[in-house]
């Protein structure tokens, strides 16, 4: 009775498939358990042994949970849209669907061979229209939603429309584009349908906008931030440039805070949480506005737009005055300011602001309305005031005058009047971007340390504020920066560069003039693209200031900033900062934000690094959008007509006029009457050439969705994978709810694992899903690296020409010796043990020429399948594999030349495989070098699981992958190690065999046997719960070794043993179970129950240590008291020998554990 794993495994794999053993039902009396793997992209290369690692772990867990009485769902599918299939299509013309289908077949065959307990009835493929129908559906849901910040959740866009028509958008607190302006209900109702749509687009959770994108010209597509590594594309390593394009985006930023908060609720690896936290990048601080000062006489900017600026040439004199007036308002001013400041009127007002040469009481710059509150004194200067009003009105301002009494008497009436005036004012274009610089800072507490400002070269204000004197320099700098690629700019962070614009800003607290610079250390894409530079408190500002000789005022108490900036928040005490003096960082932050808000030039703000996610790709092999364009505006196709199926195209490349590949499709237009995809030729003429005919046929979107679209909610679809009517039914989702265990690689930390949490939260908000975090526990399996093998080519130099030069490979140990000899000779001129000259002579290379025999060796990758477990190279195989080396000579481990030919009839096994190692080659061996590298085709270190299954079986593969080391750790694969687990399985099999027959006895078990069984149950149970799969494999080995030693053949021991091994080695367990007389699959049997009484011991072998070092052992009963133990130990003759007559200072006795004698 041999352990015929090939037959056993094939039989049981057939059985499981036929009986649908692992099909999970959507209802059960048992508690549910959902085990999920990250589904694979089916690449053409197939699986290597690194891929199934996580699947084996999750499969063990799933099988274990079935034994523990759970209704387990363990689904699998394919993330089958993607670039490689498309690139293959571009090269060969083969439709990606065909390649994908073929690859999936290979994957499935390989997966089936490993014996996973997947429920294949739930299989999904992201490229299957029946699946991507739901990806499109989710997209539509996002389009039809906006994010309400007050409710802190997504809400239907229809709600928004209703509110707009009733009260405009002033009370809406929603996540939206930055350029949204305030409008009234009246405005809204007067807008055309198109205008309305444009505005709504600014609120939708997926929206179309002109965005700066990462464009990869070689790939012809945009890339998401997480698809770029070190400034080049992750796939292919092509350069990436910044480009503006009309793109779909996902408003993931709306969920930034909730994505952060949710991390506390889930049991995910800390490093992964950390990288998500970092990626979201929350920072608390303040937005602060710095007014820009007008140019000194003679240095005006040529740009006319500069007229936005308020104040004039004598303004710096007046500013001090204005500051004073702000600090000491009249009673009436204070009362009115209280109302204006709080934005009761939906407009931002400034207090005591400079307009031209005047200081006005209040001004709303965007609506150009000035409010003056006059005291008695104005009664005497009516004329003067009228003149002033006239000047201001000439500047386009509306001036409202009130008397002190009015403001104090009937404030509401005053406010109403202002409001009326505000509503009459034309729609603003925002608050005049030319008049101030907004910055975001996390250190507003250091605002008194600001000595200059820096704008990103791309900042929109740069051209407006640059003085004519600085114009040339600034333009040259901006041009130079824009030329530099992202990569260059990143690589070179040390060089400090920048240019002064000639303009100055005004410090809002001190009123000092602050020079405005531009510099490429400020990024256009973060914050506002401008910084207030505090050189004493920021390293980059410090370096910039030092480099250009700018002021470095010190605002820290007792800190020396002569050599570097002081950045430690914890010990910060602010000085030289007016009202902030003496305050700690925390207190100063609070205080300064309060002051900034009071004074109205800024507010406390939380900023996120997270950007909205670009959702368009210029690719063919992806989900098409359910979108058509009418008058250039996107329209959703009704969900009931989904899926919108990917059209056929002739070519998979972008079109000649630069449109995405879908631009090649001829049948790619939407008929709104028939609700179907029709030929492009029918498209409404107005869409084509400005005609006004409209037949209801419009062009469809040409972009496709990115790779992460299909993977962002696939785990929910598994719950109800075959439901044609719903994404997931309420019933199914309320039963399965969420993933209990998710296993996959950590490389998805800031991609898939973040986007999917975002979609989950959105679908939760919509009431489609019952939970807002989809995976309770996540484990990142480590990578399995390859152990590459090397042969070393001797680059001896004998000046022969390359053609006649003999190729010599030197064995690793010999090469090491030669290299060691060289250094010995160089150092001491010692005798040579291995003489390379002699080696060369043996290989018949002429010695007569001048040679440099101590030369170098070139490692050459050798296919790992040509190397045996002792690192010996199959030379003949190597020569066959690399014919260019067919005449090479090999110097072995002992410095012998290995015979180039095989002795006949040897080294070939029955299957005609060459096995010629060592002995056959003149008594010497060629030993290769080994190095751990990533598994890759080009390194010839890829190991295919099929070959392992063929030679050792799937159970061996499963056990070995687990045995390699801790799941989460990366570890090298070395096929030789598998013999250990293979012989373990054979030993296990033998336990059930007597005299070559399958047979177990029904005898009562001994105490020893029960002890072995129960300690194994306990340990394996603990190990699986802790995902410590490697240690349970050793536990099995120990158990089998012990039972073999005990010659145990008893059913009561061997039955439970088969069950506890089943999750790891299911095939052999099923076979044993069947042979034990059971007819049901072992996978459904209850796990044996651990009984502690079998482990109770009566005595213990105490380690006796002296000063903490164990010196000998002593068997003592466990019921002995401390005193008795001490007495017994002291009486032992070895104790006396150790002490050598000394009296111990102290004796520590820990009953049941240890005895330690100090002295």
- Segment 491 to 510, residues that bind RNA, using CB under 7 A: 492-493
To RNA, the closest distance from the beta carbon of 371 in angstroms equals 34
From 44-52, 128-136, 337-345, 1150-1158, give the range in contact with RNA by CB under 7 A: 1150-1158
To RNA, the closest distance from the beta carbon of 274 in angstroms equals 4
To RNA, the closest distance from the beta carbon of 1152 in angstroms equals 9
Supply 1099's token pair.
Answer: 């005595």
| Residues from 276 through 335 that contact RNA (CB under 7 A) | 278-279, 281, 283, 285
| Residues from 1104 through 1123 that contact RNA (CB under 7 A) | 1105, 1107-1111, 1113
From 88-96, 433-441, 574-582, 1078-1086, give the range in contact with RNA by CB under 7 A: 433-441
| Residues from 950 through 969 that contact RNA (CB under 7 A) | 963-966, 969
From 224-232, 235-243, 365-373, 548-556, give the range in contact with RNA by CB under 7 A: 224-232
To RNA, the closest distance from the beta carbon of 1113 in angstroms equals 6
Residue 225's alpha-carbon distances to 291, 623, 682, 713, in angstroms, are 34, 20, 38, 20
d(CA 589, CA 286): 9
- Count of other CB atoms within 10 angstroms of residue 305: 14
Strand-strand pairing, 513-519 and 452-455: parallel
To RNA, the closest distance from the beta carbon of 489 in angstroms equals 5
> Mask: binding to RNA, 188-217, rule CB under 7 A, as x and -?
------------------------------
| Residues from 19 through 58 that contact RNA (CB under 7 A) | none
- Count of other CB atoms within 10 angstroms of residue 74: 26
Strand-strand pairing, 369-374 and 398-403: parallel
Instruction: Find the helix packing angle between 954-963 and 52-67, rounded to 10°.
Output: 100
- Count of other CB atoms within 10 angstroms of residue 750: 18
Supply 91's token pair.
Answer: 């090269």
d(CA 389, CA 384): 9
> Shortest CA distance to 548 belongs to which of 478, 503, 500, 479?
500
> Which one of residues 323, 609, 806, 1051 is an interface residue with RNA (CB under 7 A)?
609
Q: Does 1154 bind RNA (CB under 7 A)?
A: yes
Do 942 and 935 form a contact (C-beta atoms < 8 A)?
Answer: yes
Supply 113's token pair.
Answer: 């061979």
From 175-183, 438-446, 816-824, 880-888, give the range in contact with RNA by CB under 7 A: 438-446
| Residues from 1129 through 1148 that contact RNA (CB under 7 A) | 1146, 1148
From 123-131, 417-425, 510-518, 981-989, give the range in contact with RNA by CB under 7 A: 981-989
Q: Does 430 bind RNA (CB under 7 A)?
A: no
Is 635 or 1034 the residue whose CB approaches RNA more closely?
Answer: 1034
> Shortest CA distance to 1114 belongs to which of 84, 207, 1124?
1124
| Residues from 371 through 390 that contact RNA (CB under 7 A) | none
Q: Does 980 bind RNA (CB under 7 A)?
A: yes
| Residues from 868 through 927 that contact RNA (CB under 7 A) | 869-870
Is 189 or 870 the residue whose CB approaches RNA more closely?
Answer: 870
Is 530 or 839 the residue whose CB approaches RNA more closely?
Answer: 530
d(CA 335, CA 1135): 91
| Residues from 723 through 762 that contact RNA (CB under 7 A) | 746-747, 749-750
Residue whose pair of structure tokens reads 């250091």 in the numeric block: 446
Phi, psi dihedrals of residue 941, rounded to the nearest 5°? -120, 15
d(CA 245, CA 222): 9
> Which one of residues 90, 1038, 1052, 1130 is an interface residue with RNA (CB under 7 A)?
1038
Burial degree of 19 (CB within 10 A; 0-12, 13-18, 19+): exposed
Is 97 or 228 the residue whose CB approaches RNA more closely?
Answer: 228
Q: Does 1101 bind RNA (CB under 7 A)?
A: yes
Say how far residue 72 (Cα) sits from the centre of its chain.
28
- Find the radius of gyration of the CA atoms of the chain: 39
Supply 546's token pair.
Answer: 């030092």
Is 218 or 225 the residue whose CB approaches RNA more closely?
Answer: 225
Is 922 or 965 the residue whose CB approaches RNA more closely?
Answer: 965
| Residues from 531 through 590 that contact RNA (CB under 7 A) | 531-532, 534, 538, 540
Do 626 and 634 form a contact (C-beta atoms < 8 A)?
Answer: no
Burial degree of 766 (CB within 10 A; 0-12, 13-18, 19+): middle
Identify the DSSP state of 739.
B
Q: Does 440 bind RNA (CB under 7 A)?
A: yes
To RNA, the closest distance from the beta carbon of 1046 in angstroms equals 12
Residues in the chain: 1159
> Shortest CA distance to 136 belongs to which of 121, 125, 148, 126?
126
Is 229 or 820 the residue whose CB approaches RNA more closely?
Answer: 229
> Mask: binding to RNA, 1054-1093, rule CB under 7 A, as x and -?
----------------------------------------
d(CA 281, CA 608): 5
d(CA 207, CA 221): 19
> Mask: binding to RNA, 831-870, rule CB under 7 A, as x and -?
--------------------------------------xx
| Residues from 225 through 284 that contact RNA (CB under 7 A) | 225-226, 229, 270-271, 274-275, 278-279, 281, 283
> Which one of residues 151, 338, 416, 523 is an interface residue with RNA (CB under 7 A)?
523
């Amino acid at each position: 009775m041999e352990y015929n794993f090939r037959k056993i495994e094939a039989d049981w794999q057939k059985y499981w498939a036929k009986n649908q053993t692992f099909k999970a039902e959507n209802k059960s009396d048992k508690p549910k358990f959902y085990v999920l793997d990250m589904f694979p992209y089916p690449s053409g290369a197939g699986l290597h042994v690194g891929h199934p690692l996580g699947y084996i772990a999750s499969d063990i867990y799933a099988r274990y949970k079935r034994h523990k009485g759970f209704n387990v769902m363990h689904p699998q599918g394919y993330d089958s849209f993607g670039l490689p299939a498309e690139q293959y299509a571009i090269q060969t013309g083969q439709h990606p669907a065909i390649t994908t289908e073929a690859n999936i077949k290979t994957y499935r065959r390989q997966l089936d061979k490993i014996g996973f307990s997947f429920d294949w009835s739930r299989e999904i493929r992201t490229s299957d229209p029946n699946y991507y129908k739901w990806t499109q559906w989710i997209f539509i849901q996002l389009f039809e939603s906006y994010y309400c910040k007050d409710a802190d959740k997504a809400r239907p866009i229809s709600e928004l429309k209703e509110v707009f028509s009733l009260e405009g958008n002033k009370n809406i607190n929603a996540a939206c584009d930055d350029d949204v302006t305030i409008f009234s209900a009246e405005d809204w109702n007067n807008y055309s349908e198109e205008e309305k749509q444009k505005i709504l687009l600014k609120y939708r959770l997926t929206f179309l906008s002109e965005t700066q994108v990462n464009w990869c010209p070689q790939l012809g597509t945009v890339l998401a931030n997480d698809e770029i590594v070190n400034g080049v594309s992750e796939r292919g390593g092509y350069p990436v440039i910044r480009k503006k394009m009309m793109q779909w985006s996902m408003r993931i930023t709306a969920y930034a805070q909730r994505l952060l908060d949710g991390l506390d609720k889930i049991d995910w690896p800390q490093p992964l949480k950390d990288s998500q936290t970092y990626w979201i990048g929350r920072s608390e601080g303040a937005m602060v506005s710095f007014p820009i000062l007008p140019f000194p006489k003679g240095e005006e900017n040529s740009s006319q737009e500069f007229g936005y600026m308020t104040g004039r040439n004598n303004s710096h004199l007046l500013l001090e005055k204005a500051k004073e007036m702000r600090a000491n308002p009249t009673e009436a001013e204070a009362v009115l300011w209280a109302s204006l400041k709080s934005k009761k009127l939906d407009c931002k007002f400034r207090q005591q602001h400079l307009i031209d040469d005047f200081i006005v009481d209040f001004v709303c710059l965007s609506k150009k309305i000035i409010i003056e509150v006059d005291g008695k004194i104005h009664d005497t200067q009516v004329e003067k005031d009228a003149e002033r009003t006239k000047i201001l009105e000439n500047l386009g301002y509306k001036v409202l005058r009130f008397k002190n009494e009015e403001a104090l008497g009937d404030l509401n009436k005053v406010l109403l009047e202002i409001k009326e005036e505000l509503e009459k004012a034309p729609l603003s274009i925002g608050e005049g971007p030319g008049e101030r610089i907004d910055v975001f800072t996390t250190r507003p507490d250091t605002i008194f340390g600001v000595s200059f400002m820096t704008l990103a070269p791309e900042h929109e204000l740069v051209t407006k504020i640059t003085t004519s004197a600085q114009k040339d320099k600034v333009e040259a700098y901006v041009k130079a920066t824009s030329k530099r690629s992202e990569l260059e700019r990143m690589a070179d962070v040390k060089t400090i560069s920048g240019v002064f614009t000639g303009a100055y800003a005004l410090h809002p607290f001190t009123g000092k003039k602050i020079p405005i610079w531009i510099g490429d250390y400020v990024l256009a894409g973060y914050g506002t693209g401008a910084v207030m530079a505090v050189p004493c408190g920021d390293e980059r500002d410090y370096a910039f200031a030092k480099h250009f000789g700018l002021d470095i005022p010190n605002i820290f108490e007792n800190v020396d900033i002569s050599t570097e900036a002081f950045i430690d928040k914890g010990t910060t005490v602010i000085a030289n900062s007016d009202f902030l003096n003496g305050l700690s960082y925390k207190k100063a932050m609070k205080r300064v934000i309060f002051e900034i808000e009071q004074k109205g030039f800024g507010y406390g703000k939380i900023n996120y690094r997270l950007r909205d996610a670009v959702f368009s790709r210029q690719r063919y092999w992806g989900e098409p959008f359910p979108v058509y364009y009418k008058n250039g505006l996107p329209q959703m196709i009704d969900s009931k007509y989904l899926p919108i199926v990917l059209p056929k195209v002739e070519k998979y490349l972008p079109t000649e006029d630069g449109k995405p590949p879908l631009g090649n499709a001829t049948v790619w237009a939407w008929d709104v009457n028939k609700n179907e995809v029709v030929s492009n030729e029918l498209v409404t003429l107005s869409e084509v050439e400005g005609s006004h005919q409209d037949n209801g046929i419009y062009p469809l979107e040409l972009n496709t969705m990115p790779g992460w679209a299909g993977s962002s909610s696939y785990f929910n679809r598994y719950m109800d994978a075959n439901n044609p009517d719903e994404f997931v039914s309420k019933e199914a989702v309320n039963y399965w709810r969420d993933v209990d265990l998710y296993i996959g690689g950590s490389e998805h930390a800031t991609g898939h694992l973040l986007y999917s949490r975002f979609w989950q939260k959105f679908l939760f908000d919509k009431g489609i899903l019952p939970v807002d975090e989809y995976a309770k526990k996540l484990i990142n399996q480590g990578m399995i690296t390859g152990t590459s093998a090397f042969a070393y080519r001797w680059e001896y130099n004998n000046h022969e020409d390359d053609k006649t030069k003999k190729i010599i490979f030197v064995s690793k140990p010999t090469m090491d010796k030669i290299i060691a000899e060289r250094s010995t000779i160089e150092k001491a001129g010692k005798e040579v043990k291995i003489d390379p000259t002699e080696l060369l002579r043996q290989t018949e290379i002429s010695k007569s020429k001048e040679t440099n025999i101590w030369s170098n060796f070139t490692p050459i990758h050798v296919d790992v399948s040509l190397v045996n477990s002792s690192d010996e190279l199959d030379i003949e195989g190597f020569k066959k594999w690399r014919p260019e080396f067919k005449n090479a000579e090999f110097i072995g481990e002992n410095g012998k030349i290995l015979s180039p030919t095989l002795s006949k009839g040897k080294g070939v096994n029955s299957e005609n495989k060459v096995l010629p190692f060592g002995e056959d080659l003149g008594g010497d061996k060629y030993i290769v070098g080994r190095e751990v590298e990533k598994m890759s085709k080009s390194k010839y270190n890829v190991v295919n699981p099929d070959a392992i299954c063929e030679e050792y079986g799937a159970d061996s593969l499963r056990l070995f992958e687990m045995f390699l080391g801790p799941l989460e750790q990366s570890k090298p694969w070395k096929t030789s190690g598998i013999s250990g687990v293979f012989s373990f399985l054979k030993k296990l099999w033998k336990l059930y065999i007597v005299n070559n027959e399958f047979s177990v006895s029904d005898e009562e078990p001994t105490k020893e046997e029960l002890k072995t069984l129960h300690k194994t149950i306990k340990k394996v149970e603990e190990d699986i719960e802790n995902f410590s799969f490697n240690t349970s494999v050793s536990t099995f080995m120990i158990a089998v070794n012990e039972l073999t030693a005990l010659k145990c053949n008893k059913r009561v021991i061997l039955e439970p043993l088969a069950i506890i091994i089943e999750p790891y080695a299911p095939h052999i367990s099923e076979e044993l179970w069947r042979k034990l007389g059971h007819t049901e699959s072992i996978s459904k049997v209850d796990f044996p129950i651990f009984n502690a009484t079998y482990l109770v011991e009566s005595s213990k072998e105490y380690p006796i240590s002296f000063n903490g070092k164990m010196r000998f052992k002593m068997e003592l009963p466990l019921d002995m008291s401390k005193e008795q133990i001490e007495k017994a130990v002291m009486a032992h003759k070895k104790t006396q020998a150790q002490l050598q007559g000394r009296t111990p200072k102290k004796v520590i006795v820990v009953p049941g554990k240890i005895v330690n004698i100090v002295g």
